[in-house]
Amino acid sequence: MKLRMKKLRPDARILPKAYAGDAGIDLCAVETVVIAPHDRARVPTGLAVEIPSGHAGLVWDKSGLAAKQGITVLAGVIDEGYRGELVLCLANVSNEPQTIEKGQKAAQLLIQKVEQVEVEEAVELSESERGEKGFGSSGK
């Protein structure tokens, strides 16, 4: 499968995968952004993508940023028909301001097959072993 990526700015970076078999495609910031403690920020990538039909783009954390700086991704679903700029919504869960530098790897994009479903309103749902048991229902 090919993923078509378009630079919307000349300083945008399209990176090859670091290792064969890597699941994610690194996405880099095209601007330096400081994220205050316990706040979020939009980080532009300068890229647009053409997600293959029947797939979605899922934006995930870079493990190093998450573990070392407390940077995590919010709002990470890209629909196949979207052709605008990929703008990352990053949150800083640390107690210190965190800086994402221009050109820095800030998140990763995974392309995943998506089943198309037709939503149907139901008066009743089938029974299951779990039923309505929610948070913590399976124990610690």
What are the start-end ranges of the H helices in 1-140? 63-69
Tokens representing residue 92 in the block: 């800083």
**Count of the separate structural domains present in the chain:** 1
Q: Is residue 135 part of a domain?
A: no
SS3 (DSSP) at 115: coil
Segments forming the whole domain that contains residue 51: 4-113
- The predicted-structure confidence for 43-68, as pLDDT tens digits, reads as follows 999 999 999 999 999 999 999 999 99
CATH number of the domain where residue 29 is located? 2.70.40.10
Instruction: Return the pLDDT at 131.
Output: 86
| pTM of full prediction above 0.75 | yes
Instruction: Return the pLDDT at 54.
Output: 96
Tokens representing residue 106 in the block: 């800030």
